[in-house]
Structure 1
Amino acid sequence: MLPVPTRRLALVAALAAAVVLALDVDRRLLLVDGVLLVLAAVDWALAPRPDRVAVERDLPGVLALGGRGEVVWHLDNPLGRPLRVALADDLAPSLRPRTRRIRVRIPRRGRAEGRTTIHPARRGRFELGRVTLRVEGPLGLAARQRRVPCPGLLRVFPPFRSRDEAELRINKARILEVGLRSAQGRGGGTEFDQLREYSVDDEFRRIDWSATARAGRAIVRTYRAERNQTVLLLLDNGRVMAGRVDDVPRVEHAMDAVMMMTAVATRLGDRCGLVAFDRRVQRVVGPAQSRTQLARVTEAMYELEPQLAESDYAGAFAETLARFRRRAMLVILTDLVEQAVGESLLPALPLIVRNHLVVVAGVADPDVVGWAASSPRDASGAYRKTAAVRALEERRRTVARLRGLGAHVVDAPPGQLAPRLADTYLAVKATGRL
Structure 2
Amino acid sequence: MIYPTRRTIWLLLAGAPAALLLGLMRPELWIAAPAWIAFLLACLAIDAAVGANPRKLALDARFPGQVGVGDAFDLQLTATSPTPVPARAEIALALDERLATGGRLAASMRAVDDGGGGRARTLARTLTLAAARRGSALIEALTIRWTGPLGLVWKQRRFAIDGRVGVVPSLRAVTEEGSRLFQRNSWFGLRQQRLRGEGTEYEALAEYQPGMDRRAIDWNASARHVKLLAKEYRVERDNRVVLAIDAGRTMAEPVGAMPRVDRAVSAALLLAYVGLKLNDRISLFSFAAKPQAMTPAYMHTQDFPALQRAASLIDYAHVESNFTLALSTLGATLNRRSLIILFTEFTDATSADLMIRAAGRLVKKHRLLFVVLKDEELESEERRRPESAADITRSNVAASMLRDRQLVIARLQRLGADVIEVPADAMAAGAVEAYLGIKRGGTL
Please report the TM-score for the alignment, with normalisation by the length of structure 1.
Answer: 0.68
**Identity among equivalent pairs (%):** 25
Say which SS state the counterpart of residue 100 (structure 1) adopts: strand
* 1:102 aligned residue: 109
Any conservation in 2 of the 1:158–1:302 contact (CA below 8 Å)?
no
Shift of 1:330: 0.8
For structure 1, which runs of at least 5 residues remain unmatched after alignment? none
* 1:75 aligned residue: 79
CA–CA separation in structure 2 for the residues paired with 1:121 and 1:235: 21
The aligned runs of 1:82-93 (5 Å cut-off) are: 82=84, 87-91=91-95
TM-aligned CA distance change 1:417 to 1:28, over 3 Å: closer
Any conservation in 2 of the 1:158–1:298 contact (CA below 8 Å)?
no
CA–CA separation in structure 2 for the residues paired with 1:371 and 1:99: 34
Asked whether 1:276 is paired with 2:286, we answer yes
CA–CA separation in structure 2 for the residues paired with 1:366 and 1:272: 31
Say which SS state the counterpart of residue 243 (structure 2) adopts: strand
Shift of 1:34: 5.6
RMSD between superposed Cα atoms in Å: 5.6
CA–CA separation in structure 2 for the residues paired with 1:190 and 1:35: 93
TM-aligned CA distance change 1:418 to 1:124, over 3 Å: closer
Say which SS state the counterpart of residue 123 (structure 1) adopts: coil
Asked whether 1:352 is paired with 2:395, we answer no
* 2:343 aligned residue: 333
* 1:314 aligned residue: 324
TM-aligned CA distance change 1:416 to 1:156, over 3 Å: closer
Asked whether 1:430 is paired with 2:440, we answer yes
CA–CA separation in structure 1 for the residues paired with 2:427 and 2:6: 59
Any conservation in 1 of the 2:169–2:308 contact (CA below 8 Å)?
no
Any conservation in 2 of the 1:47–1:135 contact (CA below 8 Å)?
no
Q: Which amino acid aligns with 1:300?
A: A
The aligned runs of 1:2-401 (5 Å cut-off) are: 3-5=1-3, 7=5, 10=8, 25-27=29-31, 30=34, 53-59=57-63, 62=67, 65=70, 69-77=73-81, 79=82, 81-82=83-84, 87-91=91-95, 95=100, 99-102=106-109, 112-118=122-128, 120=130, 122-125=132-135, 126-133=137-144, 145-154=156-165, 155=167, 175=189, 179=192, 187-194=197-204, 196-199=206-209, 201=212, 207=218, 222-241=232-251, 250-251=260-261, 254-255=264-265, 257-282=267-292, 287-288=297-298, 289-290=300-301, 293=304, 297=308, 300=311, 305=316, 307-317=317-327, 320=330, 327-336=337-346, 337-343=348-354, 345-349=355-359, 352-365=362-375, 387=397, 390-401=400-411
Shift of 1:269: 3.8
Shift of 1:429: 0.8
Say which SS state the counterpart of residue 132 (structure 1) adopts: strand
Any conservation in 1 of the 2:422–2:430 contact (CA below 8 Å)?
yes
Say which SS state the counterpart of residue 340 (structure 1) adopts: coil
Any conservation in 2 of the 1:209–1:219 contact (CA below 8 Å)?
no
Please report the TM-score for the alignment, with normalisation by the length of structure 2.
Answer: 0.67
TM-aligned CA distance change 1:373 to 1:225, over 3 Å: same
Any conservation in 1 of the 2:63–2:76 contact (CA below 8 Å)?
yes
Aligned length, in residue pairs = 421
CA–CA separation in structure 1 for the residues paired with 2:258 and 2:374: 12
Shift of 1:159: 9.1
Shift of 1:130: 2.0
CA–CA separation in structure 1 for the residues paired with 2:159 and 2:150: 24
CA–CA separation in structure 2 for the residues paired with 1:429 and 1:274: 19
Moved more, 327-336 or 403-412: 403-412
Any conservation in 2 of the 1:76–1:112 contact (CA below 8 Å)?
yes
Q: Which amino acid aligns with 2:409?
A: V
